[in-house]
Chains A and B, each alone.
Chain A
């Protein structure tokens, strides 16, 4: 297993366009998290899945954001009608049910630039 994989690594899009990011977690990890990070800040929690169920969403996740994990494996995060304020690094992490012991395993992130 090569860890958590995120694609694409970089995405430049025009304001108003829709974008979709993909995350492939570690195969035996049933928990998957999306975070957003802007320069000089720590990661901000967006949403969390246990298997295919989306169990929690942050207030930060506006109606323009949607996340899915259809078969409890990979996940996608879609942003509709992008705004310049959406420019950030989008991080995906996965963990086991005993996540506290081993921490999260993060991917390298997708850097989104909205122009």
Chain B
């Protein structure tokens, strides 16, 4: 069956450093992969999309890579700030809807 795995451990980093989050998947061949941010008690907020034929995409301090051979996406936040503290979810398309990973909790320490 299809499976999406994200870093199970919470990630704590110092302000100003680069945070790197991982999303691995099996039994999938998604055409699109998305990253969302979720704050406690709120719905997820869309950040970035990357297509299967794109290796990398950037938006401001965010960078996403997509390796369809490794079946992995990496999500980077450069020059991290305490306001970046949240849970980050990857989501893969499966035709008409997206399936989400379990998320990685990120805490940026001032």
Interface residues of A (CB under 8 A from B): 4, 33, 35, 40-45, 48, 50, 55-56, 91, 93, 100-109, 111
Contact = CB atoms under 8 A, between A and B. Distances in A.
B97 A33 contact: yes
A103 B36 contact: yes
For the complex, would chain B's binding face be called helix, strand, loop or mixed by DSSP majority? strand
Given A42-B89, A101-B49, A103-B49, A108 B102 contact: no
18 contacts: A41-B102, A42-B100, A42-B102, A42-B103, A44-B100, A45-B99, A48-B97, A50-B96, A56-B96, A91-B43, A100-B32, A100-B51, A102-B49, A104-B46, A105-B46, A109-B42, A109-B43, A111-B41
Given A100-B32, A100-B93, A101-B49, A93 B99 contact: no
Range of interface residues on B (Cβ < 8 Å): 20 to 34
B34 interface: yes
Interface of B: 4, 6, 31-32, 34, 36, 41-47, 49, 51, 89, 91, 93, 96-103
Given A40-B102, A42-B89, A42-B103, A106 B96 contact: no
